[in-house]
Amino acid sequence: MSELTELSAELAAAVETAARSVVSIDARPRATSSGIIWKPGVIVTVEHAIRRTDEIRITLPDGRAAGATLAGRDGSTDIAVLKYDGDGIAPGRAAAKGKPGNIALAVGRTQHGPTATMGIISAVHQSWRTWRGGVIDRFIRLDLELYASLSGAPVVDSGGGFVGMATAGLSRTAAIAIPPETLERVASELLAKGRVSRGYLGIGLQPVSLPADLSEKLQLGPAGVIVLSVEPGGPAHNAGIVIGDVLLSIAGRSVADLGDVQSALGADSVGRTAPVELLRGGERKTVEVRIGERPLPQED
């Protein structure tokens, strides 16, 4: 029984330590979310919980209420950054990689104080691309109950080591922890520019299998992506790409599905002119496209 009591005390201490850097965020109807004090005056949280961009209210670890403003948001990684009139130094975080089977604690805050839930890290994989096209440096799946107020909460191990930020917005089946390196990369860009730059062609695409005889004749792979729509005046339109074209490669990188296209259109592609190889009327063709920047989604 003493071992169980000791473990309980260690978990409570880990929650208490993590809660020193956690705020409650009131930016959506009927539910608050949590956020992490990333540096003095800066909070990182989940983008999907920011449904109101004016009159955002936060509750600080010492119980004080304050206002916050949205510095930037990126739906593809589900990360948003808030700024507030902070004082003092942000609490330090000891990073922890986390392994499958490790205890995981999500530590959030409501207006009434800290809140926590416990489970385990169920899987850790290499970098992955979200269904919205963002890159997460490590896939960390959590097996724990993520209440609404815990969206944006830090995930820590039993020793208080920081594993990442909890979100239910990147998977339809399980909670995910966004790792510290992704938070730092995206938050830095949001603070600098208010957005994350990504390449943009201005076309609607769908994967398509290529006929075996045509693939063999033209020495092509088994698949490409077919153009279903072209935005007037967009980069692809200006380069002469039309509906029915099948894209084969962008800047020398083969594209067989939408993930390949997104990978080829990273931040470093914006403003560059790239060769786009395509299939039109049974013949290979190359056009030069000046890649644009993906526009921000329109607010409702």
Catalytic residue chosen out of the listed positions 24, 26, 33, 78: 78
Residue 298 lies in a domain: no
Residues 260 and 188 in one domain: no
**78 a catalytic residue:** yes
Q: Are 24 and 111 in contact (CB under 8 A)?
A: yes
Residue 13 CA to residue 26 CA, distance in Å, equals 26
Strand partners, 176: 141, 167
* Token pair belonging to 90: 């942000």
User: What are the average pLDDT values for consecutive 10-residue runs of the chain, which has 300 residues?
Assistant: 87 94 95 95 96 94 94 94 84 85 96 95 93 90 95 94 95 94 96 90 95 90 95 96 96 90 86 95 94 72
Residues 21 and 157 in one domain: yes
Which of 149, 166, 193 is at the close of a domain? 193
Q: Give the domain extent around 117.
A: 2-193
**48 a catalytic residue:** yes
Residues 281 and 154 in one domain: no
148 class by beta-carbon count within 10 Å (0-12 exposed, 13-18 middle, 19+ buried): middle
**254 a catalytic residue:** no
Residues 78 and 95 in one domain: yes
Residue 182 lies in a domain: yes
Q: For 61-77, what is each residue's pLDDT tens digit?
A: 999 999 999 999 999 89
Residues 16 and 139 in one domain: yes
Residue 299 lies in a domain: no
Residues 44 and 75 in one domain: yes
Query: What's the pLDDT score for residue 88?
Result: 67
Catalytic residue chosen out of the listed positions 21, 48, 74, 260: 48
Residues 60 and 135 in one domain: yes
Among the listed residues 217, 203, 197, 211, the one whose alpha carbon sits nearest the alpha carbon of residue 265: 197
Residues 187 and 207 in one domain: no
CATH number at residue 33: 2.40.10.120
Beta pairing, strands 139-143 & 135-136: unpaired
Residue 300 lies in a domain: no
Catalytic residue chosen out of the listed positions 151, 245, 260, 269: 151
Domain count of the fold of the chain: 2
Residues 175 and 215 in one domain: no
Which of 193, 211, 246 is at the close of a domain? 193
Residue 17 CA to residue 156 CA, distance in Å, equals 10
Which of 144, 174, 193 is at the close of a domain? 193
Residues 206 and 166 in one domain: no
